[in-house]
Amino acid sequence: MARINSYSFGFMDVDGVAYTTDLIILPSGVVPNWWRKEGHTLLVEDLEPVLKEKPVVLVVGTGYDGRLRVSREVEIVAERAGIRLVVERTLSAWKTFNELKEKRKAGAFHLTC
């Protein structure tokens, strides 16, 4: 499973690889250059790769200032799929991701605002 080594505004190091755009971390690997249909609103369709892998937990990093909003539909779909949803500012979400012991975990991280 991937490990996040560091995070700062607009930058995340995952297993020694630098990312400067939003990303998703799955049990099978990293999905770089993650874009959402409505920018600062997280919709179910934005999480297609996550839902296909069926993690037991999904950590959503809402950005440095927490501007990314999780839609109610995402909460409902996660609950129905048995996915525990953890939503935090990316400043703390990356640490939470690393601390989780679950092997089938995923992370969706907004790196800027």
Residue range 66-102, pLDDT digits in tens:
999 999 999 999 999 999 999 999 999 999 999 999 9
Q: Yes or no: say if 108 and 58 are a contact pair by the CB < 8 Å rule.
A: yes
Q: Is the pLDDT of residue 5 over 90?
A: yes
Domain for residue 7, yes or no? Answer: no
Domain membership of residue 59 (yes or no) is yes
35 domain residue, yes or no = yes
* pTM for the model: 0.97
Q: CA-CA distance, 51 to 85, in Å (whole number)? A: 12
Domain count, the chain: 1
CATH number for the domain including 62? 3.40.1230.10
What pLDDT, on the 0 to 100 scale, is given for residue 4? Answer: 98
Domain that holds residue 98: 21-109
Domain assignment present for residue 39? The answer is yes
Residue 11 lies in a domain: no
Question: What does the pLDDT read at residue 1?
Answer: 84
**pLDDT value at 43 more than 90:** yes
Residue 12 maps to a domain: no
**In the 3-class helix/strand/coil scheme, how is the chain assigned residue by residue?**
CCCEEEEECCEEEECCEEECCCEEEECCEEECCCCCCECCEECHHHHHHHHHHCCCEEEEECCCCCCCEECHHHHHHHHHHCCEEEEECHHHHHHHHHHCCCCCEEEEECCCC
In a domain, 16, yes or no: no
pLDDT recorded at residue 96: 98
pLDDT of residue 76: 98
**Domain presence at residue 34:** yes
